[in-house]
A = this chain, B = another copy of it.
Amino acid sequence: MGIVVQKYGGTSVADPERIKAVAEHVAFTRSHGNDVVVVVSAMGKTTDNLISLANQVSSTHPGRELDMLLTTGERISMALVCMALADIGIDAVSFTGSQVGIITDTVHTKAKILEVKGDRLREALAAGKVAVVAGFQGVSTDSEITTLGRGGSDTTAVALAAAVNADVCEIYTDVTGVFSADPRIVPQARKLQHLDFEEMLEMAGAGSKVLALRSVEFARNHNVPLHVRSSFTWEHGTWVLDMSAFNAQQSSKENAMEDPIISGVVHETGEAKVTVFGVADKPGISAALFEPLADANVNVDMIVQNTSKDGITDISFTVPKSDLATALKIVNAVAGELGAAGVTHDEAVAKISLVGAGMKTSPGVAAKMFRVLADANVNIEMISTSTIRVSVVVGAANTEKALRTLHTAFGLDSGQAYSAPLPERK
């Protein structure tokens, strides 16, 4: 007996057949004695279609109205899932974000959750019902309908799981779990059984699209175990949890030996590189460059500044390609004021990252990575590291070669990342 929160993404409820399959799986989960909270996204392309309609009627999309428009998608899904459950004899009740008490700030289209009341959720579970909740939405402190922005439905699911102290938050999607690399590029990639919250955070930050960074952060902060799995195969997927606590419960010696240094290789091809040449290396230069970018909401990722030579240095950074035009306009202006020698940019780049909790205690990962890439004749343009991640920027044409070579060199092609058993369903 436990409480299971199940989040179904857009492809998992894309059509009536998929919705019926979801209902069957909810029934299956209940038949094992669990209380179930279901969180749904909008069906398939619904959100895209609504945005297209908005673009057709207007070039002006007030946030309040856009949120009202887009939240209808999840409401349609939740009502249909409840009907499909009723059809197979499961008593279910739907709740909007507002009805379930997801209180947000007042920032339309990207609201942050301030509080989850969840009274009606607990009442429904206590009455033996399945609760079906619209993802992606809440109600602001001003009593207006808000949306949570990208990855919003995952965040709804994690927030509700924390509110009802669920045993697990299952994220159903169109892939079977988190892989050691993108299987479309690295055929030898394998599904990871376990990941630590920190590793998943780094992977999401490095370009993995499976889970939104924000929902992983929320899960880590509230210690909500995540289970990423497919609604097309229903097979067990990848657990994301606090591995140190989990290992402590297991026979620790056995597990310690099995811990791999690297969990996965992640790539990101959606960014472009900008370099400002020949800047004076003195206090305030970086601020002068990056403050106006932040003010313009340009999402700067990697920043690298070399040691200066004769008091002159170069600064490189990456931004999403969609922000490049804005970024160049600002940087060119600032570079002129700073007396920089020039500004260049390159869209044909890829960021390749190695992520693994084992790095903390295993020195030499970065050095090995650089050697492997050098042997494969892949030139490294930028480097950035964190305690459990090493990222490099390489030419986009080298993406596949870099991924496959590193995947093999770090022993990810075969074997298990963790031999520990999956957490027991209570």
Contacts and interface: CB of A to CB of B under 8 A. Distances in A.
Among the interface residues A69, A79, A84, A93, which one has the most CB atoms of the partner chain B within 10 A? Answer: A79
A69 B65 contact: no
Nearest to A95: B68
A64 interface: yes
A128 to B, nearest CB: 16
Contacts of A76: 50, 53, 69, 72
Given A53-B80, A54-B80, A72-B72, A87 B65 contact: no
A19 interface: yes
Contacts of A93: 64
Nearest to A56: B16
B79 A66 contact: yes
A57 interface: yes
A315 interface: no
Contact of A87 (B60, B79, B86): B60
A209 interface: no
A78 interface: yes
Contacts of A84: 57-58
A69 B75 contact: yes
A261 interface: no
A59 interface: yes
A43 to B, nearest CB: 8
Interface of A: 16, 19-20, 23, 50, 53-54, 56-62, 64-66, 68-69, 71-72, 75-76, 78-84, 86-87, 93-94, 96
Q: Which 7 residue pairs of A and B lie closest in terms of their CB atoms, listed nearest first?
A: A16-B56, A69-B79, A58-B83, A58-B87, A72-B72, A60-B86, A68-B79
